[in-house]
Structure 1
Amino acid sequence: MTNVRLNGVPVDAYPRHAPEARRGRMRPITTTGHPVLHRPCRPVTAYGTTELAQLVEDLFATMYAADGMGLAANQIGVNLRLFVYDWTENGTRHVGHLANPVITRSSGRTLDEEGCLSVPGRFARVPRAEHVAVHGADQHGTPLTITGSGYFARCLQHETDYTRGRLFRDRRRPKKGRSR
Protein backbone atom coordinates (compact mmCIF):
# COMPACT_ATOMS: atom_id res chain seq x y z
CA MET A 1 0.00 0.00 0.00
CA THR A 2 1.27 3.43 -0.94
CA ASN A 3 0.98 6.43 1.36
CA VAL A 4 0.02 9.64 -0.45
CA ARG A 5 1.16 13.14 0.45
CA LEU A 6 -0.73 15.90 -1.39
CA ASN A 7 1.22 19.16 -1.24
CA GLY A 8 3.06 17.65 1.72
CA VAL A 9 -0.07 16.62 3.66
CA PRO A 10 -1.04 12.95 4.09
CA VAL A 11 -4.35 11.97 2.44
CA ASP A 12 -6.32 8.74 2.73
CA ALA A 13 -6.90 8.13 -0.98
CA TYR A 14 -5.92 9.68 -4.28
CA PRO A 15 -6.64 8.87 -7.93
CA ARG A 16 -4.03 7.55 -10.37
CA HIS A 17 -3.58 11.05 -11.84
CA ALA A 18 -4.12 14.42 -10.18
CA PRO A 19 -7.72 15.52 -10.86
CA GLU A 20 -6.41 18.78 -12.32
CA ALA A 21 -5.03 16.81 -15.29
CA ARG A 22 -8.56 15.93 -16.45
CA ARG A 23 -9.36 19.64 -16.77
CA GLY A 24 -6.02 20.55 -18.30
CA ARG A 25 -4.79 20.47 -21.86
CA MET A 26 -1.46 19.19 -23.04
CA ARG A 27 0.89 21.92 -24.20
CA PRO A 28 4.10 21.60 -26.22
CA ILE A 29 7.21 21.18 -24.09
CA THR A 30 9.81 23.91 -24.53
CA THR A 31 13.25 22.50 -25.25
CA THR A 32 16.74 23.67 -24.42
CA GLY A 33 17.86 26.76 -26.26
CA HIS A 34 14.53 28.59 -25.83
CA PRO A 35 15.21 31.80 -23.85
CA VAL A 36 12.41 31.18 -21.29
CA LEU A 37 14.36 28.17 -19.96
CA HIS A 38 17.61 30.05 -19.44
CA ARG A 39 16.54 33.01 -17.32
CA PRO A 40 14.95 33.29 -13.87
CA CYS A 41 11.16 33.23 -14.00
CA ARG A 42 8.85 35.93 -12.69
CA PRO A 43 7.37 35.22 -9.26
CA VAL A 44 3.71 34.28 -8.98
CA THR A 45 1.96 37.34 -7.53
CA ALA A 46 -1.72 36.72 -8.33
CA TYR A 47 -3.09 33.73 -6.43
CA GLY A 48 -6.52 32.13 -6.68
CA THR A 49 -7.07 33.18 -10.30
CA THR A 50 -8.66 31.05 -13.00
CA GLU A 51 -5.50 31.60 -15.09
CA LEU A 52 -3.25 30.14 -12.40
CA ALA A 53 -5.64 27.21 -11.84
CA GLN A 54 -5.64 26.54 -15.60
CA LEU A 55 -1.84 26.64 -15.67
CA VAL A 56 -1.63 24.05 -12.87
CA GLU A 57 -4.14 21.87 -14.75
CA ASP A 58 -2.17 22.19 -17.99
CA LEU A 59 1.10 21.42 -16.26
CA PHE A 60 -0.32 18.20 -14.79
CA ALA A 61 -1.89 17.16 -18.11
CA THR A 62 1.37 17.82 -19.99
CA MET A 63 3.54 16.11 -17.37
CA TYR A 64 1.42 12.94 -17.41
CA ALA A 65 1.21 12.86 -21.22
CA ALA A 66 5.01 13.11 -21.41
CA ASP A 67 5.50 10.50 -18.66
CA GLY A 68 7.35 12.95 -16.43
CA MET A 69 7.70 13.21 -12.67
CA GLY A 70 7.80 17.01 -12.53
CA LEU A 71 7.29 19.96 -14.83
CA ALA A 72 7.96 23.67 -14.39
CA ALA A 73 5.88 26.40 -16.04
CA ASN A 74 8.76 27.60 -18.21
CA GLN A 75 8.95 24.10 -19.69
CA ILE A 76 5.66 24.92 -21.43
CA GLY A 77 6.78 28.44 -22.28
CA VAL A 78 5.24 30.27 -19.31
CA ASN A 79 7.59 32.62 -17.45
CA LEU A 80 6.35 31.93 -13.88
CA ARG A 81 7.98 30.36 -10.84
CA LEU A 82 5.68 27.35 -10.58
CA PHE A 83 6.01 23.58 -10.92
CA VAL A 84 4.01 20.38 -10.46
CA TYR A 85 5.21 16.94 -9.39
CA ASP A 86 4.06 13.35 -8.95
CA TRP A 87 6.65 10.87 -7.74
CA THR A 88 6.47 7.62 -5.76
CA GLU A 89 9.43 6.38 -3.77
CA ASN A 90 9.81 3.99 -0.86
CA GLY A 91 6.05 3.47 -0.51
CA THR A 92 5.16 7.17 -0.49
CA ARG A 93 3.61 9.05 -3.38
CA HIS A 94 4.23 12.79 -3.47
CA VAL A 95 1.80 14.86 -5.58
CA GLY A 96 1.38 18.60 -5.77
CA HIS A 97 2.42 21.95 -7.09
CA LEU A 98 4.51 24.77 -5.71
CA ALA A 99 4.67 28.46 -6.61
CA ASN A 100 7.75 30.57 -5.86
CA PRO A 101 9.84 27.67 -4.55
CA VAL A 102 12.86 28.38 -2.35
CA ILE A 103 15.10 25.65 -0.95
CA THR A 104 15.28 26.47 2.76
CA ARG A 105 17.19 23.45 4.03
CA SER A 106 19.43 20.83 2.49
CA SER A 107 21.75 18.15 3.77
CA GLY A 108 23.81 15.24 2.52
CA ARG A 109 25.20 14.84 -0.97
CA THR A 110 24.43 12.35 -3.69
CA LEU A 111 25.44 11.90 -7.30
CA ASP A 112 22.91 10.28 -9.62
CA GLU A 113 21.74 10.38 -13.20
CA GLU A 114 19.13 12.88 -14.35
CA GLY A 115 17.30 13.54 -17.55
CA CYS A 116 14.67 16.07 -18.48
CA LEU A 117 11.65 16.52 -20.72
CA SER A 118 13.15 19.80 -22.00
CA VAL A 119 16.48 18.17 -22.83
CA PRO A 120 15.24 15.07 -24.66
CA GLY A 121 17.54 12.08 -24.89
CA ARG A 122 20.26 13.60 -22.70
CA PHE A 123 21.32 12.29 -19.31
CA ALA A 124 24.10 13.25 -16.90
CA ARG A 125 25.25 12.50 -13.40
CA VAL A 126 24.28 15.49 -11.28
CA PRO A 127 25.30 16.26 -7.69
CA ARG A 128 22.35 17.12 -5.45
CA ALA A 129 21.47 17.29 -1.77
CA GLU A 130 20.09 14.02 -0.38
CA HIS A 131 17.46 15.79 1.79
CA VAL A 132 15.72 19.13 1.16
CA ALA A 133 12.94 21.37 2.37
CA VAL A 134 11.37 23.66 -0.22
CA HIS A 135 9.11 26.52 0.79
CA GLY A 136 6.55 28.21 -1.46
CA ALA A 137 2.78 28.44 -1.84
CA ASP A 138 -0.06 26.60 -3.51
CA GLN A 139 -2.19 28.19 -6.24
CA HIS A 140 -4.36 29.85 -3.60
CA GLY A 141 -1.41 31.47 -1.82
CA THR A 142 -1.40 29.06 1.13
CA PRO A 143 2.21 28.72 2.37
CA LEU A 144 3.70 25.24 1.96
CA THR A 145 6.92 23.53 2.90
CA ILE A 146 7.60 20.29 1.05
CA THR A 147 10.32 17.98 2.35
CA GLY A 148 11.94 15.23 0.39
CA SER A 149 14.71 12.67 0.49
CA GLY A 150 16.34 10.52 -2.15
CA TYR A 151 15.10 10.90 -5.70
CA PHE A 152 12.13 13.00 -4.60
CA ALA A 153 14.59 15.53 -3.14
CA ARG A 154 16.35 15.45 -6.52
CA CYS A 155 13.01 16.15 -8.25
CA LEU A 156 12.29 19.14 -5.98
CA GLN A 157 15.76 20.59 -6.62
CA HIS A 158 15.55 19.95 -10.37
CA GLU A 159 12.21 21.76 -10.71
CA THR A 160 13.23 24.61 -8.39
CA ASP A 161 16.33 25.09 -10.56
CA TYR A 162 14.08 25.42 -13.62
CA THR A 163 12.22 28.32 -12.03
CA ARG A 164 15.59 30.03 -11.64
CA GLY A 165 16.63 29.50 -15.26
CA ARG A 166 19.03 26.68 -14.48
CA LEU A 167 18.85 23.32 -16.28
CA PHE A 168 20.17 20.04 -14.87
CA ARG A 169 22.97 20.07 -17.42
CA ASP A 170 24.27 23.29 -15.84
CA ARG A 171 25.10 21.18 -12.74
CA ARG A 172 26.15 18.00 -14.49
CA ARG A 173 29.12 15.78 -14.30
CA PRO A 174 29.26 14.16 -17.75
CA LYS A 175 28.93 10.40 -17.85
CA LYS A 176 31.45 8.62 -20.03
CA GLY A 177 30.01 7.54 -23.37
CA ARG A 178 27.03 9.91 -23.22
CA SER A 179 26.63 13.01 -25.34
CA ARG A 180 26.60 16.35 -23.62
Structure 2
Amino acid sequence: MNKLNILTFPDPRLRKTAEPVIDFNDELKSMASDMLYTMYEDKGIGLAATQVDIHKRLIVIDLSEDKSSPLYIINPDYEILDDTLELSEEGCLSIPSFRQEVKRAKKIKLKYQDLNGLDKELTAEGLLGFCIQHEIDHLNGKLLVDYSSSLKRNRIRDKLLKLKDEKK
Protein backbone atom coordinates (compact mmCIF):
# COMPACT_ATOMS: atom_id res chain seq x y z
CA MET A 1 0.00 0.00 0.00
CA ASN A 2 1.11 3.51 -0.77
CA LYS A 3 0.46 6.61 1.27
CA LEU A 4 -1.04 9.21 -1.03
CA ASN A 5 -0.62 12.97 -0.80
CA ILE A 6 -3.76 14.67 0.50
CA LEU A 7 -4.48 17.98 -1.21
CA THR A 8 -5.13 20.89 1.14
CA PHE A 9 -7.33 23.93 0.79
CA PRO A 10 -7.09 26.20 -1.23
CA ASP A 11 -5.67 23.83 -3.87
CA PRO A 12 -7.91 24.31 -6.93
CA ARG A 13 -7.86 20.57 -7.71
CA LEU A 14 -10.19 20.10 -4.72
CA ARG A 15 -12.85 21.94 -6.74
CA LYS A 16 -12.89 19.45 -9.64
CA THR A 17 -16.02 17.39 -10.08
CA ALA A 18 -15.25 13.68 -10.02
CA GLU A 19 -16.09 11.44 -12.98
CA PRO A 20 -18.01 8.17 -12.64
CA VAL A 21 -15.99 4.99 -12.26
CA ILE A 22 -16.47 2.76 -15.30
CA ASP A 23 -13.76 0.12 -14.92
CA PHE A 24 -14.02 -2.14 -11.87
CA ASN A 25 -10.58 -3.70 -12.04
CA ASP A 26 -7.41 -4.31 -10.03
CA GLU A 27 -6.31 -0.71 -10.53
CA LEU A 28 -9.50 0.51 -8.81
CA LYS A 29 -8.98 -1.95 -5.93
CA SER A 30 -5.38 -0.81 -5.53
CA MET A 31 -6.44 2.85 -5.59
CA ALA A 32 -9.12 2.18 -2.94
CA SER A 33 -6.60 0.28 -0.80
CA ASP A 34 -4.09 3.16 -1.00
CA MET A 35 -6.84 5.63 -0.10
CA LEU A 36 -7.87 3.58 2.92
CA TYR A 37 -4.25 3.29 4.08
CA THR A 38 -3.80 7.07 3.66
CA MET A 39 -6.99 7.78 5.60
CA TYR A 40 -5.89 5.53 8.47
CA GLU A 41 -2.39 7.04 8.55
CA ASP A 42 -3.85 10.56 8.78
CA LYS A 43 -6.39 9.55 11.46
CA GLY A 44 -9.45 10.18 9.30
CA ILE A 45 -12.80 8.41 9.07
CA GLY A 46 -13.55 9.22 5.44
CA LEU A 47 -11.66 10.14 2.29
CA ALA A 48 -12.86 11.03 -1.20
CA ALA A 49 -10.67 10.32 -4.23
CA THR A 50 -10.74 14.02 -5.14
CA GLN A 51 -8.76 14.74 -1.97
CA VAL A 52 -5.84 12.69 -3.30
CA ASP A 53 -6.04 14.18 -6.80
CA ILE A 54 -7.92 11.23 -8.30
CA HIS A 55 -11.04 12.61 -9.89
CA LYS A 56 -13.18 9.49 -9.79
CA ARG A 57 -16.39 8.96 -7.79
CA LEU A 58 -14.77 6.82 -5.09
CA ILE A 59 -15.02 7.17 -1.31
CA VAL A 60 -13.59 5.15 1.55
CA ILE A 61 -15.04 5.29 5.07
CA ASP A 62 -14.33 3.43 8.28
CA LEU A 63 -15.97 4.51 11.53
CA SER A 64 -14.69 1.56 13.58
CA GLU A 65 -12.18 2.11 16.38
CA ASP A 66 -10.04 -0.84 15.27
CA LYS A 67 -10.03 -0.12 11.51
CA SER A 68 -11.98 -3.29 10.82
CA SER A 69 -15.02 -2.04 8.90
CA PRO A 70 -13.96 -0.31 5.70
CA LEU A 71 -16.74 0.78 3.38
CA TYR A 72 -15.93 1.34 -0.29
CA ILE A 73 -18.46 3.59 -1.98
CA ILE A 74 -18.29 3.99 -5.75
CA ASN A 75 -20.53 6.18 -7.92
CA PRO A 76 -22.63 7.27 -4.93
CA ASP A 77 -25.99 8.97 -5.06
CA TYR A 78 -28.33 9.58 -2.17
CA GLU A 79 -31.83 10.69 -1.44
CA ILE A 80 -32.93 12.39 1.74
CA LEU A 81 -35.30 10.25 3.80
CA ASP A 82 -35.71 12.72 6.65
CA ASP A 83 -35.16 16.33 5.69
CA THR A 84 -34.83 17.38 9.31
CA LEU A 85 -31.46 19.09 9.50
CA GLU A 86 -29.07 18.21 12.29
CA LEU A 87 -25.90 20.01 13.27
CA SER A 88 -22.73 18.06 12.71
CA GLU A 89 -19.33 19.34 13.84
CA GLU A 90 -16.96 18.22 11.13
CA GLY A 91 -13.28 18.20 10.39
CA CYS A 92 -11.54 17.47 7.10
CA LEU A 93 -8.19 15.98 6.15
CA SER A 94 -7.92 18.62 3.39
CA ILE A 95 -8.34 21.45 5.91
CA PRO A 96 -6.07 20.55 8.83
CA SER A 97 -7.02 21.78 12.32
CA PHE A 98 -10.30 23.32 11.14
CA ARG A 99 -13.72 22.36 12.50
CA GLN A 100 -17.05 23.62 11.22
CA GLU A 101 -20.64 23.04 12.24
CA VAL A 102 -22.72 22.00 9.25
CA LYS A 103 -26.43 21.30 8.94
CA ARG A 104 -26.97 17.97 7.21
CA ALA A 105 -29.96 15.77 6.46
CA LYS A 106 -30.78 13.51 9.40
CA LYS A 107 -31.36 10.33 7.37
CA ILE A 108 -30.37 9.36 3.83
CA LYS A 109 -30.68 6.38 1.50
CA LEU A 110 -27.41 5.78 -0.35
CA LYS A 111 -27.20 3.96 -3.68
CA TYR A 112 -23.70 3.02 -4.78
CA GLN A 113 -21.53 0.31 -6.27
CA ASP A 114 -18.96 -1.81 -4.45
CA LEU A 115 -15.43 -2.60 -5.65
CA ASN A 116 -16.80 -5.31 -7.94
CA GLY A 117 -19.38 -3.02 -9.55
CA LEU A 118 -22.33 -4.59 -7.72
CA ASP A 119 -25.23 -2.24 -6.94
CA LYS A 120 -25.76 -1.64 -3.22
CA GLU A 121 -28.06 0.37 -1.02
CA LEU A 122 -27.91 1.43 2.59
CA THR A 123 -29.80 3.71 4.91
CA ALA A 124 -27.60 5.97 7.00
CA GLU A 125 -28.05 8.45 9.78
CA GLY A 126 -25.89 9.89 12.53
CA LEU A 127 -22.14 9.93 11.98
CA LEU A 128 -22.24 7.59 8.96
CA GLY A 129 -24.89 9.71 7.24
CA PHE A 130 -22.95 12.92 7.91
CA CYS A 131 -19.70 11.36 6.72
CA ILE A 132 -21.27 10.13 3.47
CA GLN A 133 -22.75 13.57 2.76
CA HIS A 134 -19.38 15.24 3.54
CA GLU A 135 -17.43 12.94 1.21
CA ILE A 136 -19.97 13.27 -1.61
CA ASP A 137 -19.56 17.05 -1.27
CA HIS A 138 -15.87 16.48 -2.07
CA LEU A 139 -16.74 14.51 -5.21
CA ASN A 140 -18.85 17.48 -6.30
CA GLY A 141 -16.09 20.03 -5.64
CA LYS A 142 -17.65 21.38 -2.45
CA LEU A 143 -15.55 21.87 0.68
CA LEU A 144 -16.26 22.20 4.37
CA VAL A 145 -15.17 25.86 4.25
CA ASP A 146 -18.03 26.54 1.83
CA TYR A 147 -20.34 26.31 4.85
CA SER A 148 -18.45 29.26 6.44
CA SER A 149 -18.67 32.97 5.85
CA SER A 150 -16.34 34.35 3.18
CA LEU A 151 -14.40 36.19 5.90
CA LYS A 152 -13.78 32.96 7.84
CA ARG A 153 -12.98 31.07 4.61
CA ASN A 154 -10.36 33.70 3.66
CA ARG A 155 -8.78 33.53 7.13
CA ILE A 156 -8.50 29.76 6.90
CA ARG A 157 -7.02 29.99 3.40
CA ASP A 158 -4.44 32.56 4.54
CA LYS A 159 -3.51 30.47 7.60
CA LEU A 160 -3.02 27.30 5.55
CA LEU A 161 -1.00 29.11 2.86
CA LYS A 162 1.23 30.57 5.59
CA LEU A 163 1.76 27.11 7.12
CA LYS A 164 2.59 25.69 3.69
CA ASP A 165 5.18 28.45 3.10
CA GLU A 166 6.76 27.78 6.51
CA LYS A 167 7.21 24.10 5.61
CA LYS A 168 9.15 24.91 2.43
Structure 1 residue aligned with 2:19, among 42, 54, 59? 42
Would the aligned equivalents of 2:80 and 2:105 in 1 still touch at CA under 8 Å? Answer: no
Quick one: percent identity of the two aligned structures?
Answer: 33
Structure number with higher strand proportion = 1
Would the aligned equivalents of 2:42 and 2:93 in 1 still touch at CA under 8 Å? Answer: yes
Structure number with higher helix proportion = 2
Aligned CA RMSD, in angstroms, stands at 2.1
Deviation per residue, 1:49-88 (Å, 9 max, x gap): 1110111100110010001000011111111110000014
Structure 2 residue aligned with 1:138, among 114, 120, 123? 114
Would the aligned equivalents of 1:127 and 1:172 in 2 still touch at CA under 8 Å? Answer: no
Residues 100-119 of structure 1: pairs in structure 2 closer than 5 A: 100-107=75-82, 108-119=84-95
| 2:63 pairs with 1:84 | no
Q: What TM-score does the superposition give when structure 1 sets the normalisation length? A: 0.76
Q: What TM-score does the superposition give when structure 2 sets the normalisation length? A: 0.81
Structure 2 residue aligned with 1:149, among 125, 128, 133? 125
- AA in 2 matched with 1:39: K
Describe the shift of the 1:35–1:173 C-alpha distance in structure 2 as closer, same or farther (beyond 3 A). closer
State how many pairs are aligned: 150
Q: In the aligned structure 2, how far is the partner of 1:159 from the partner of 1:165?
A: 10
- AA in 2 matched with 1:123: R
Q: CA deviation at 1:29?
A: 0.8
